[in-house]
A and B are shown apart, each in its own frame.
Chain A
Amino acid sequence: MLRVRVIPCLQLRDGALVKTVQFKKPAYIGDPVNTVRIFNELEVDELAFVDIEASRLGREPNWALLREITDECFMPLSYGGGVASLATAERLFNMGFEKVIINSATLTTPGLIAEIARVFGTQAVIAAIDVRTNWLGRAQTASHSGTRTGDMTPDRWAAALEAEGAGEILLTSIDREGTWRGFDVRLTASVTAAVRVPVIAHGGCGTLAHMAEVVQQGGASAVAVGSLVVYQGQGLGVLVNFPERDELARRLGGAA
């Protein structure tokens, strides 16, 4: 049975691990390499790293830090933040990441997803879609750490990115991110219905029940989690943790 993947999504800023709430107020969590060691020992399914400033500030990835991470980790790894060229993606793949996460560059460098997919395969490209609800209550896509707004609805945007060559969609609800309120199931369902590639739901996970809900009702193939795995609980201190494997299997099941 194929297990539903539960992916810690770790935010990097200035070489430190942080956690935001609705893409704001980054709180210091700890040293990324130490944290990664703990997740490695906990045998998590997969890890995603996102540098939350690189694209907005036009920075390159923090290569020294990423090298330390890939020397430690023997699980699928993805990286996003400042991946704006084929050369940057290639350097990440050579280092030991198997997927790159691309959001801002889909706007600033049209064709980049197609180019990476052609050379490295569609499974190597995760297209990130950040979504915020505007004052009219409409779901709007965003980029550059949420500072710029796109004009397509999330489902149409997802279909366009799939057509370009994205092998997975990382769908983040900015409104829910860091809030522990649960995933935006409706948003997730609208996107999973529009594409055939796996969708990773992200933003708001506070309990295992939230994961089960977005998988069963939203059609998500995988879930990305942040606060849940770096805090002891809502409003409590830092504690790197991961749900028990058997408990996850019981709650989430999988595809045969």
Chain B
Amino acid sequence: MITIVDYGMGNLGSILNMLKKIGATGQISSDAAVIGAATKLILPGVGAFDAAMERIQQSGLRPVLDARALEARVPVLGICLGMQLLGESSEEGVLPGLGWLPAKVLDFRRRIPSELKVPHMGWNLVRTATASPLTAGLAEMQEPRFYFVHSYFMQCQEPSDSILRTTYGLEFDSGVQRGNIFGVQFHPEKSHRFGMHLLSNFAKV
């Protein structure tokens, strides 16, 4: 059972739809007791960094999430903004992130040529970096590609935490893993068979 954390930010229906499609059981929950007993978590997220961190604090879920991720060490997958929250900080906001991964979130607009549109929106390719169970078999697929929508990108401090890389004006970490903590910048739930493959991998972790 994969529990999708509902803290009020994100397109949860489509993640649940894809879990159903790949034959994994999933549930959406905002209940601290349910999340506190979860054996696998997805942390989704669409919107602004500070707004998301505020919601996580206000919902009272922060201690439960920390306990699952850092003590029980259940697999956690952050998606899009949910991945960025795993890091320490973001140039989008002033609040600290969850800090489960030594990484910073940086602003595309300050670093890429102005003729490139921001957000980085659409289908882009990924290259595998450090091997990970999340990306197993991906490199064997022809042109593995995913759907991205984001204006900020993650940069890991430890190169070994980077499992996927993507280029848009610069090279950034589009997939990360540190132990039981996983994150992807793109939307696997909106990325056809590539997304199904990746979420099936997560279901098996």
Chain A: residues with CB nearer than 8 A to chain B? 1-5, 40, 43, 45-46, 70-71, 74-77, 93-96, 98, 120-121, 123-124, 167-168, 196-198, 221-222, 255-256
Contact = CB atoms under 8 A, between A and B. Distances in A.
A196 B117 contact: yes
Interface string B1-45: 000000000011110011001000000000000000000000000
Interface residues of B, number: 35
Looking at chain B's contact residues, the main secondary structure is mixed
B86 to A, nearest CB: 19
A196 to B, nearest CB: 7
Interface centre among A2, A46, A74 (most CB of B within 10 A): A74
Interface string B95-138: 00000000000000000000011111111110000000000000
Contacts of A124: 46
Given A93-B13, A94-B13, 20 more contacts: A2-B120, A2-B148, A2-B168, A3-B124, A45-B122, A74-B190, A74-B192, A74-B195, A75-B191, A75-B192, A96-B17, A98-B190, A120-B47, A123-B149, A196-B117, A197-B117, A198-B117, A222-B122, A255-B116, A256-B116
Contacts of A222: 122
Contacts of B123: 2-3, 5, 45
Contact of A121 (B12, B46, B120, B189): B46
Contacts of A2: 120, 122-124, 148, 168
A94 B11 CA distance: 6
B189 A256 contact: no
Given A2-B122, A3-B124, A256 B147 contact: no
Contacts of A45: 122-123
Interface string B170-205: 000000000000000001011111011000000000
A74 B168 contact: no
The 3 closest A-B pairs by CB, nearest first: A96-B14, A96-B13, A121-B47
Most buried by A among B13, B18, B190, B195: B13
A94 B12 CA distance: 6
